[in-house]
Amino acid sequence: MFQIYQACYRFCRFSKVALFSSSYALLLLTVPTITDLPGSNLLAQTAPTQDLEAASFFQQGVTRYNRNDYQAAEFAFREALQRDPNLGAARNYLGNIMLQQNRLDVAVQEYAEAIRINPNFGDAYYNLGLALHKQGQKDAAIISYRQALVVDPTMTNAQYNLGVLMYEQGQIPEAIAAYQQAINLDSRNANAYFNLAIAHHQQGKIAQAISAYRQAVELNPKNAVAYYNLGVILYNQGDLKEANAVLKSAGLQYREEGNTEQADRVKQLMQQIAQVSQGSTPTPTNSVVQEPVLQMPTQSETPPETQPNPADVPVSVEEQPPSLQETPPGTTINFGN
């Protein structure tokens, strides 16, 4: 399995996201964002080592890590590794610290070492995938996510991120399959429904896109972009009454976010709907459909058995050409601004 890592690490091609347009709407595809590794509130109950000093330093590292004292945590984990070099869990924590500090090359090395020590360390494969994804090594990241799923087929985040990567690579059917599998594992994953809707829309599967957008806003009523995209699709389908209601919700959410520019855009579209409702034929409108947002890494307190649930990442609104959005780090990881 370590050979899989080597293939990932040597891969260094970067791919770009392209604009996609349909006859009704302009889809603006932006690059996923990374939300960082939020620390876990739980402490590891036992360190995976028989060396008492190593176990003590490991526990200190976990405690400092959960307090966001990463400098002290790194020191403690390295002290633990001096006493027990086969402490793969400490390597995984060090990788997360490096990832939060944007020291991506070092993070990749730490995750690779964790995998060398424990070839069945699913979280380490997942976190390696995140680091590679952030580096732009998308094919290598796909390999890592898939290996994480071999170790643990129930890893929802790996399925979700795999969907994002497939979408970025233009493999839309594969992206849809990955998002659907993520939803099968976690039926309350609002971002998976949102990204699934985008993928269906891109393939011209309007009914499926509408259904997925409805699920997305039901699970996350604060998602202004999902309301907006749904409203635009309904408008383009000639369902003016429901489009108006949905766009009203989008406008309210944009106002709450302080995004007055997009709120004004929604208002103009609603005025257009009012005019069309008085007898004119509806004219297809241009909409900006946001691209997938990436959910990030996981950190288990007693690797690899435990894995925290990812936090939902808010979808940001972009009216400009594609740009890389990145979100700060947390113990599990996500792509964000």
Looking at the structure, tell me whether residues 95 and 125 fall in a common domain: yes
Same domain, 39 and 172: no
Query: Residues 124-134: pLDDT tens digits?
Result: 999 999 999 99
On whether residue 139 sits in a domain, the answer given is: yes
Question: What average pLDDT does this structure show over 233-240?
Answer: 91
Token pair 């959960």 is found at 66
The answer, yes or no, to whether residue 224 has pLDDT greater than 80, is yes
Q: Return the amino acid letter for 261.
A: E
Residue 267 CA from chain centroid, whole number: 30
pLDDT tens, position by position, 159-205: 999 999 999 999 999 999 999 999 999 999 999 999 999 999 999 99
Please tell me whether residues 168 and 146 are part of one structural domain: no
Q: Are residues 77 and 201 in the same domain?
A: no
CA dihedral 18, 321, 336, 21 (to 10 degrees): -50
Q: Which residues pair with 335 in a beta bridge?
A: 34
At which residue do the structure tokens 């070092």 appear?
A: 106
Domain finish residue from 153, 173, 197:
153
Task: Read off the pLDDT band of 306 (50, 70, 90).
Answer: very low
Separation in Å, CA 34 to CA 91, 109, 200, 210: 21, 20, 23, 27
Q: Is residue 311 part of a domain?
A: no
Q: Are residues 55 and 115 in the same domain?
A: yes
Same domain, 135 and 256: no
Rounded mean pLDDT, 305-328: 25
pLDDT at 171: 95
Which range is least confidently modeled, 7-21, 69-83, 154-168, 303-317?
A: 303-317
| pLDDT reading at 68 higher than 90 | yes
Q: Are residues 65 and 174 in the same domain?
A: no
Domain that holds residue 132: 1-9+33-153
Q: What is the pTM of this model?
A: 0.75
Determine what percent of the chain falls in helix, strand and coil, rounding each to the nearest 5. 60, 5, 40
How many domains would you assign to the chain?
2
Q: Give pLDDT tens digits for 26-60.
A: 333 333 333 334 333 334 445 678 889 999 999 99
The answer to whether 322 and 20 have CB atoms below 8 angstroms apart is no
Is the domain of 140 the same as that of 161?
A: no
**What confidence tier does 278 reach under pLDDT thresholds 50, 70, 90?**
confident
Q: Rounded to an integer, what distance in angstroms lies between the CA atom of residue 181 and that of residue 177? A: 6
CATH code of the domain containing 83: 1.25.40.10
Structure tokens at 249: 């919700």
Average per-residue pLDDT in the chain?
76
